[in-house]
Structure 1
């Protein structure tokens, strides 16, 4: 009777993988249930934002990368790594901080980091290193980067204005509104170029993993994936304005500009791919990683490492649940009927001719996080990336005004915290995070004024006719935000 060589059948190999994969599957299900809110929020962004539609392809691409690297698992077996629980604990603390600050992207990134730590804890560092590319690519499941939109809008507007100055074309520039003799152009959120940058990053990472081996070359690819789309988007926006100038019509130039933008972006990416081909390293074979001397893997070790990592990771969510149960409640809604000449009250709204105006004050619990305030703001105002956005000064606040793409609905919103107007920045989020822990120091208040237009294209006179009413509403919101 012939016997297999010990290196061919390492001790414990017949049971190590099935047990480890079973524990891994159960653990990932538990983590998925724990972080279901983060997953649902991510899927909602994939569906609603054109900047993140490509996220539906991330899992198939990661699976393909794993399949391409399956030979790297030859000779390896799961080696539980309990020390990964320390990294999971750090990620869990980061999740708690992001949750208190109301930053969903932070919660999603740390949740994904926890998942990666759990995989390493169960399968071991060597397996994680062999599958580093697909594991890292999973971070593209997180719809991250929306906070860059205002900055990118400014960069795009700068490209347009600089180009008009060089070419000597007369223009008027007010933030994101650019007027030339041929008409008016708005640098909307959709024109900021975020969709191009995020898509380029995802493609650049795939290109770097497949075509290059050197970390430095991969880094250069990722830097180009950020810089080139920013410059290309600025040139695209300038080209649309110049087209309007030469056609004599801004509307004609803006027709289907997003479709043309994708065509232009695809051409730029294709040029980058061609430019990188001479430096490719995918053909070169890497020396195989010598397999570690096999030794038995106990089932109890796999289970203990998984439990330890899961317990460390779930500490943050457990603390958050405890805080929420201490008194967080849904916001209290107060309908404020505005007054204006030529308008009549109609229920809780104001009828001005065929237009309908409604004002609401939402008073939140001191225990809430700022995420609750922003979630209600987006629910009531909308968050479409092709909406026109401008601001109106009334009272102590800069009201953010959002007009939908059909120009049939305009919504103005502003928030207050501890008696002062508050934005969505880190300082506001940190102050409310501390308030939520103490359950005191006032209540966040959100004021929302909705204007339904009878005819499309009408721009409400918020800064003139209703500025005094907005100032009164702001004062009332400020007073409410100081009440315990």
Structure 2
């Protein structure tokens, strides 16, 4: 019996991996179907936003990292870890909170945590530790960081204004609008530097995983990958404004400014790589494979661990579906506008070459604030090349987006519980509670649209909103108090 046992272990091990991989594949398909909305939103963002185009490379890079570490799996075999289901349950609760708050990034991040927990639940902690680098790199599939854009715009504007003050160049600035004698510059979303930061973090993580083994050196690389692009983008934006000053034309300086930005960013990254080469640790011998062979897992244990983890992960989405079934699609109400020197055209106004119309979207109390935000982006678009600013009219703060060719301008503002509402955490928490109770007010989104013409100028937009604000605000306030 003692002589036959060693031969039995490899035979059993040979059948464990195929079963584990089959269970893993089926489970990942089930999770992919459950979180299809998050996956589709991520892929759409990769395709539409230049800040996240690099995400298409994350899966191939993660696969390459796994292949480079394949020697670490020698002597290891799947060891199911049912305790990972507890972590998946906590992640599922986090997903439900993010879903009720309407934060897609939170939903995507917690969904990725659930996927990682499932992998650990099926394959075990030792294999997860051996493949930690590629598993962690998968988090770059999540298009995170968009909430930083306003802060980054302020940082970029501060760099420009500080540089102009230091050089004694006459200027005037109002938030993200900077005027010099050569013309006007707008620190738009595309100028905030998010695309540089996210790309630098993804590259920095790859560089840290490949070239270094010390946790502290890897952390230092990631910190530099975060800070250097912020500073570099500030100098890049200042350089464009200075170029406009010396050329005497803001438009000439802004031509192909994004191309110049990528060239500048590439040079900065190259310098970081060269700076890190003297401290590289990739030439050391790779860690030896584990010498201890563990008893192969039983198929029943693999299936039970996978099923338990999936059940824990699906708890949050199941609760959300139950709540959403009581909701409904937003109801659209066209609002007639006051003439104010323009010609009525149905419920819209014809003001010279401009066509102006307004409507109110009334949402179900069960809707999360994410539904309101998603509808706003669907109506206005999310091109980061568009000009974006805000104007005040009455108590409401209107978000205005004008496309690059100035053919369409859309202003939106929201109301909740009879008062104007922003997109902050307080509003999201309030509506999250409303969605759970199904009462205490309905979100209302006011949308004012200009088609073709001079209404794209900021003073004209603010004037039009002030003219129509009284009626729009009253109707929106009344509708937002209904259950």
Category of TM-score, reference length = shorter chain: over 0.9
SS in 1 for 2:460: coil
Distance 1:106 1:330 in 2: 23
Which region of structure 1 is more displaced relative to structure 2, 190-199 or 328-337?
Answer: 328-337
- Does residue 346 of the first structure (1) align with residue 345 of the second (2)? yes
How far has the Cα of 1:6 moved from its partner?
2.7
SS in 1 for 2:409: strand
Residue 99 to residue 409, structure 1, CA distance change in 2 (3 Å): same
How far has the Cα of 1:216 moved from its partner?
0.2
Which region of structure 1 is more displaced relative to structure 2, 274-283 or 468-477?
Answer: 468-477
**Residue pair 1:373, 1:446 contacting (<8 A) in 2 also:** yes
**Residue pair 2:409, 2:456 contacting (<8 A) in 1 also:** no
**Residue pair 1:91, 1:313 contacting (<8 A) in 2 also:** yes
How far has the Cα of 1:455 moved from its partner?
6.3
User: For each residue in 1:389-427, what CA deviation from the matched residue of structure 2 results, as whole angstroms up to 9, or x when unmatched?
Assistant: 122111210111111111111111100111111111111
Residue 7 to residue 229, structure 1, CA distance change in 2 (3 Å): farther
Aligned to 2:74: 74
**Residue pair 1:208, 1:221 contacting (<8 A) in 2 also:** yes
Aligned to 2:174: 174
Distance 1:121 1:466 in 2: 56
Aligned to 2:405: 406
User: Where does 1:414-433 land on structure 2 (aligned, <5 Å)?
Assistant: 414-433=413-432
Aligned to 1:195: 195
SS in 2 for 1:351: strand
- Structure 1 segments, 4+ long, off by >3 Å, are 7-11, 454-460
How far has the Cα of 1:458 moved from its partner?
5.1
How far has the Cα of 1:476 moved from its partner?
1.7
Distance 2:401 2:350 in 1: 20
Distance 1:454 1:171 in 2: 29
Residue 349 to residue 204, structure 1, CA distance change in 2 (3 Å): same
User: For each residue in 1:89-137, what CA deviation from the matched residue of structure 2 results, as whole angstroms up to 9, or x when unmatched?
Assistant: 0100000000000000000000000000000000000000000000000
**Residue pair 1:183, 1:249 contacting (<8 A) in 2 also:** yes
**Residue pair 1:153, 1:188 contacting (<8 A) in 2 also:** yes
Aligned to 1:128: 128
SS in 2 for 1:461: helix
**Residue pair 2:75, 2:293 contacting (<8 A) in 1 also:** no
How far has the Cα of 1:7 moved from its partner?
8.1
How far has the Cα of 1:294 moved from its partner?
2.2
Which region of structure 1 is more displaced relative to structure 2, 281-290 or 40-49?
Answer: 281-290
SS in 2 for 1:97: helix
Where structure 2 has 5 or more consecutive residues not aligned to the other structure, the ranges are: none
Distance 2:5 2:479 in 1: 78
**Residue pair 2:114, 2:313 contacting (<8 A) in 1 also:** yes
Aligned to 1:29: 29
User: For each residue in 1:24-58, what CA deviation from the matched residue of structure 2 results, as whole angstroms up to 9, or x when unmatched?
Assistant: 00000000000000000000000000000000000
**Residue pair 2:46, 2:56 contacting (<8 A) in 1 also:** yes
Aligned to 2:152: 152
User: Where does 1:76-155 land on structure 2 (aligned, <5 Å)?
Assistant: 76-155=76-155
How far has the Cα of 1:467 moved from its partner?
1.0
How far has the Cα of 1:457 moved from its partner?
6.5
Distance 1:454 1:131 in 2: 57
User: For each residue in 1:315-347, what CA deviation from the matched residue of structure 2 results, as whole angstroms up to 9, or x when unmatched?
Assistant: 10111111112x210011010121133312222
SS in 1 for 2:213: coil
Where structure 1 has 5 or more consecutive residues not aligned to the other structure, the ranges are: none
Distance 1:133 1:289 in 2: 17
Distance 2:32 2:218 in 1: 31
Aligned to 1:50: 50
How far has the Cα of 1:290 moved from its partner?
2.5
How far has the Cα of 1:483 moved from its partner?
1.3
Aligned to 2:211: 211
Distance 1:287 1:323 in 2: 50
Aligned to 1:282: 282
Aligned to 2:476: 477
Scaled by the length of structure 2, the TM-score of the pair is 0.97
**Residue pair 1:363, 1:444 contacting (<8 A) in 2 also:** yes
SS in 1 for 2:10: coil
How far has the Cα of 1:386 moved from its partner?
1.3
**Residue pair 1:340, 1:466 contacting (<8 A) in 2 also:** no
Higher helix share: 2
Aligned to 2:367: 368
**Residue pair 2:77, 2:296 contacting (<8 A) in 1 also:** no
Aligned to 2:434: 435
Residue 188 to residue 4, structure 1, CA distance change in 2 (3 Å): farther
User: For each residue in 1:451-484, what CA deviation from the matched residue of structure 2 results, as whole angstroms up to 9, or x when unmatched?
Assistant: 0124696556122244121232122211211112
How far has the Cα of 1:382 moved from its partner?
1.6
Aligned to 1:299: 299
How far has the Cα of 1:11 moved from its partner?
5.7
Distance 2:361 2:271 in 1: 51
Distance 1:427 1:465 in 2: 29
**Residue pair 1:122, 1:302 contacting (<8 A) in 2 also:** yes
Aligned to 2:329: 330
Aligned residues: 481
**Residue pair 1:10, 1:294 contacting (<8 A) in 2 also:** no
SS in 2 for 1:374: helix
Which region of structure 1 is more displaced relative to structure 2, 398-407 or 258-267?
Answer: 398-407
Distance 2:291 2:448 in 1: 65
**Residue pair 2:365, 2:443 contacting (<8 A) in 1 also:** yes
Distance 1:302 1:397 in 2: 56
